[in-house]
A and B are shown apart, each in its own frame.
Chain A
Amino acid sequence: MSDATNSGPVLSADGTPLKRSLARALRRQKMRALMLIAPLLIFVLVTFILPIADMLWRSVENQIVTNTMPRTVVALADYDGASGELPGEATFEAAYYDLYIAAERKLHTRLGSRLNYEQTGASSLFRKSGRGLDDIGEVYMDQFEDLDKNWDEAEPWAELMGDPAWLEAQGKWQKGQTQPTFKASGAIKELLPRTAEQYALFAEFQQVDKDKSPLREEPWSAVHTALYQDLAEADVSGYTGPQADLLKAADALVASPDFETVTFKAGFEEIDEDWMDPEIWVTIQTYSPELTNGYFLNAVDMQKSPDGAEFRDERERIYGLLFKRTIFMSMVITISCILLAYPVSYLLSNLPARSANLLMILVLLPFWTSLLVRTSAWKVMLQQQGVINDILVWIGMVADDSRLTMINNQFGTIVAMTHILLPFMILPMYSVMSTIPPSYTRAAKSLGATNWTTFWRVYFPQSVPGIGAGSILVFILSIGYYITPEIVGGTTGTFISNRIAYHISSSLNWGLAAALGTILLAVVLLLYWAYDRIVGIDNVKLGG
């Protein structure tokens, strides 16, 4: 009997093996714990982790150039901008077709704004080109139309280009239904490849973007341009499909010496002289990869150039200065917070509970006042016609015509931010200090230590965790502070966060803003790491 029980696995009361039953119980426990933290986990994930991931992604993401001008990017792959020569006709052709569809979709100006961050003038160049591109195609469109009105009609085009099955399906289509995807007829695809491609783009645009039937809309001029290009090369005499006569007449027209043509290059030159400057082509080429380090280079005052990264002109360097200033001023603010908060916290923790509570309310009172109100109040206090200057003039310490400048500079920012962040230093210090038993200091004194030695050797070391916690809080809060430096910072007291806000809300250069934010995050993590190495994060206490 004992043999039987030993040979099999150990069973629990309900007959399942004990090991499995234990694992199940543990799993259930883990699940329960997970369920308990799930709301917080999801909240943190959605509001914190994902935005940070998105920010990191935006700082390197650069798909807009390849998405908007795919053919041009390919055509420019081997272009050597350093030669000072313009790219060839093939590139202009690619740019024409790319920009044409982009302009119809209203994406060309978006690309212009993007490239304007890198090259001044790109914005208006692209806006202008979107309007001007029709001039190139209209040369051909007009001639085809003069030959036969059908070239300006929707249906003959569709019959010529479309696969019969698609034509039939499209004919039955009614608004509200999904449209049959355009399919070019086999013969046309072989004979007129460019036209088929351009017509497919046109049909897709009408179907998807406009929800209109290609059977009702006459093609745009890029299709006519493509038709001219195809007819100039192809031999259509053998074509017998729909609208064969129309096509053959057009072929004859293109072959005739009177047919007017325009090179794409000349067309671009007509739109704007700037297209004749290699600079814009170099810019498109430089920023064509889908991932870019351009934003990060920009964030450290560098830029891309044909010879690799280089520092910007001295007059345009700003971010390095702002990063240094932000860190320096945050340190000054942290130190002044320590100096002011230490005696207050000491007093708080050593007073009887009743007066300590009253004092605590005084500490917290400004904490409950709006940030903007407190900052504006400092403006009133510190400005040249403000309270402090008035008093100093009144008691004769400064002359009326040489009032002190205490606002709109670093001094004002440090004063206002120290005041605003002080409670974040006092609270952790107080909660640490109130746990230091008074018996230690009494013991030290009874053993003959002076007041100073008692404080410095016995009391202070025990209060260090509070200083550490307060410093981390204040430093990290101040390094990302925005509103106070914006209001009282003037020109010398602004922080990096003010530039980030500018790029988010004014210049719309979100890539650069994301890169600056990422660097700021990295700096904070680095300092945190350094703090951990030097002081040790175990030494940080927010209380007890």
Chain B
Amino acid sequence: MKLTKTLMATTALTVAAAAAHADGHGMADSMTLVSWGGAYQSSQQKAYVEPYLAMNDGVSSTWDESSAEAVAKLRAMNEAGNVTWDVVDVVAADAIRLCDEGLALEIDPDSDLAAAPDGTSAEDDFGDLLVSDCFIPQIVYSTTFGYRTDLVPEGVDAPSDICSVFDLETYPGKRALEKRPINNMEWALLCDGVAKEDVYDVLETDEGQDQALAKLGTIKDSVVWWSAGADTPQLLADGEVFMGSTYNGRLFSAIVEQNQPIGMMWDAQVFDLDGWIIPAGLSDDRLARAKDFVKFATDTQRLADQSKYISYGPARASSAPMVGQHAELGIDMAPHMPTDPANAANTFLYNYEFWADYRDDIDAKFQAWLAQ
């Protein structure tokens, strides 16, 4: 009898405490974060999640490594009326699509995001990188080329120009390119005599698309097409290809952390953004938690902290001066950032609007061209 009473009292207390906790903050005490897995996700875990959990007692978080299929899965969850994710890491192009489909929540930068330490509003601090009403940028990464330093022919300079990708005579060997038209079409036109500012005007036309494919056709037999970011570092490490495109952070870890004989070629690198979105249709307490986390995780200090673990540039202007050294290797991170002035002499910014319109059309042509 006594035992039952004690048990009941304890249960009541626990329930009351839990209720008080929930009432006190009005926030859910667990959240599911979605990211890409690998080194990138662990940099987020160390720079954002661990400090956040340390500050918020009783909150727990789980990772779901589904960012690659985030758009399709969110759409399915939304149709089923059961959104199980709280904060989702996606590339900017996907954020725009999620926003278009009404699957992501619109945010107000000035109230939902933290201002910079010097008082600059979040909207100004992120500037042009707020490419969608739903998108909260985290990092700037780039798609660029790595090449095998030991396979550069004797008496020839290491490749430093994007057109060396198309120059099989000077730089023999295979190339690794992504199995999609985005970036490849731009590089092809650039090396076929189209001026940088005209690239998208040309690519809008059928003739321009044919021109780009024709240029890619000159190296088609020497290309290994990749679909996962890890492929190119592997192909380079095995000596399967002489040079290949991939995300700069992947090359950084192959070069610096695994000491592979690989060099970076930053010319005509294509900047892209990665960041958070909050799915539409969350309950009030989960939404409050998601907003609280995102506000914390995208403040100036946190974005700067992430660059200790991975060579991606923080998306806030105010974080850039705070980029320091690698947390374990102790090397300066700034020269490995795609945004470093020495690396960013000639860059592209992923043209979101253009590819939102032309993606379906050009992809159909590109895939048909590949299959022939």
Contact = CB atoms under 8 A, between A and B. Distances in A.
A491 B217 CA distance: 13
Interface in B324-372: 353, 356-361, 363-365, 367-372
B171 interface: no
Contacts of A507: 359-360, 363
B225 A318 contact: no
B368 A120 contact: no
B72 A110 contact: no
Interface in A461-495: 486, 490-492, 494
A395 B305 CA distance: 53
Contacts of B69: 505
B238 A110 contact: no
Contacts of A506: 71-72
Nearest to A130: B100
A504 B72 contact: yes
Interface stretch (A111-119, A225-233, A514-522): A111-119
A508 interface: yes
Interface string B236-265: 001110000000000000000000000000
Contact of A109 (B75, B100, B363): B100
A384 interface: yes
Contact of A116 (B227, B239, B360, B365): B360
B97 interface: yes
Contacts of A490: 224-225
B102 A383 contact: no
B185 interface: no
Contact of B102 (A106, A116, A318, A486): A106
Given A124-B353, A383-B240, A317 B360 contact: no
A321 interface: yes
Interface in A114-151: 116-117, 120-124, 127
A408 B224 contact: yes
Given A321-B371, A383-B240, A505-B72, A113 B227 contact: no
A384 B240 CA distance: 6
Q: Which of B69, B71, B360 counts the most chain A CB atoms within 10 A?
A: B360
Contacts of A509: 360
Nearest to A380: B238
B28 to A, nearest CB: 21
Given A318-B371, A385-B238, A491-B225, A127 B100 contact: yes
Contacts of A492: 371
Interface in A312-355: 315-318, 321-322, 325
B88 interface: no
Interface in B78-116: 97, 99-102
B100 A315 contact: no
B329 to A, nearest CB: 28
Contact of A113 (B97, B224, B240, B364): B97
Interface in A489-544: 490-492, 494, 499, 504-509
Contacts of A124: 353, 356-357
A494 B363 contact: no
A385 B240 contact: yes
A107 interface: yes
B368 A317 contact: yes
Contacts of A127: 100, 356
A315 B368 contact: yes
A509 B360 CA distance: 9
Interface of A: 106-107, 109-110, 112-113, 116-117, 120-124, 127, 315-318, 321-322, 325, 383-386, 408, 486, 490-492, 494, 499, 504-509
Interface of B: 68-69, 71-72, 75, 97, 99-102, 174, 179, 210, 224-225, 227, 238-240, 353, 356-361, 363-365, 367-372
Closest 7 CB pairs of A and B: A109-B100, A318-B368, A120-B361, A505-B72, A491-B370, A106-B102, A505-B69
Given A113-B101, A321-B372, 7 more contacts: A110-B102, A123-B356, A124-B356, A318-B367, A408-B224, A505-B71, A507-B360
18 contacts: A106-B102, A120-B358, A122-B357, A124-B356, A127-B356, A315-B365, A321-B372, A325-B371, A384-B174, A384-B240, A385-B239, A408-B225, A491-B179, A491-B371, A504-B72, A508-B71, A508-B75, A509-B360
